C-alpha cells in the first residue's frame, strides 16, 4: 500500500550551485550527499516535513539524469511514493496494465528498494516507488 510521498527529485546541472538555495535560503534540513554509481547520479537530500527533496546531478553524460536535462532541461525529474511492500505494489500495477521501467525492485539511495513506472502510464510524470 502506498503510504505517503517519499521525495521529489529535481534534476540539476550542479549540486554545488543549487545546494545553497535549499539549505541557506529556504533553510531546509540538509541530510547530505550520496552517490549512486549504477544510476550515474549524485544526490543532495533535504527534508521538509515528512517529504525529502532530492537534487540529482549526473555523474556521466550517459546517465539518465543527463539525458533528461539534455531533452527537457533542469527541473522536476520524478515523484516518489513510499510503499510498505514494493513487490505487491508492482504486481498490482502490472495487473492494471501499468507499464513499468523496473519489473523487479533495485537498490536506490539509502539502501532502499526502488522501481520506476514508465511516464506513459502515469500522466507523463516519471513515478518511483520506494520501500525502506
Domain ranges across the chain: 2-131
Query: At the fourth CATH level, which superfamily is domain 2-131?
Result: 2,3-Dihydroxybiphenyl 1,2-Dioxygenase, domain 1 (3.10.180.10)
Give 111's pLDDT tier (boundaries 50, 70, 90): confident
Quote the mean pLDDT of the chain.
96
Summarised one tens digit per residue, pLDDT across range 16-72 is 999 999 999 999 999 999 999 999 999 999 999 999 999 999 999 999 999 999 999
Whether the predicted pLDDT of 117 surpasses 90? yes
Distances (CA, A) of 107 to 22, 28, 38, 49, 129: 26, 26, 9, 24, 11
pTM over 0.85: yes
Amino acid at each position: 500500500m502506498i503510504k505517503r510521498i517519499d521525495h521529489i527529485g529535481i534534476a540539476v546541472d550542479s549540486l554545488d550551485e543549487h545546494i545553497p538555495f535549499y539549505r541557506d535560503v529556504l533553510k531546509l534540513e540538509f541530510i547530505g550527499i550520496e552517490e549512486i554509481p549504477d544510476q550515474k547520479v549524485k544526490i543532495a537530500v533535504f527534508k521538509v516535513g515528512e517529504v525529502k527533496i532530492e537534487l540529482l546531478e549526473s555523474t556521466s553524460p550517459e546517465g539518465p539524469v543527463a539525458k533528461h536535462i539534455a531533452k527537457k532541461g533542469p527541473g522536476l525529474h520524478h515523484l516518489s511514493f513510499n510503499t510498505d511492500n514494493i513487490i505487491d505494489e508492482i504486481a498490482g500495477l502490472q495487473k492494471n496494465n501499468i507499464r513499468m521501467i523496473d519489473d523487479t525492485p533495485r537498490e536506490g539511495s539509502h539502501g532502499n528498494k526502488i522501481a520506476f513506472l514508465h511516464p506513459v502510464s502515469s500522466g507523463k510524470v516519471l513515478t518511483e516507488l520506494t520501500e525502506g
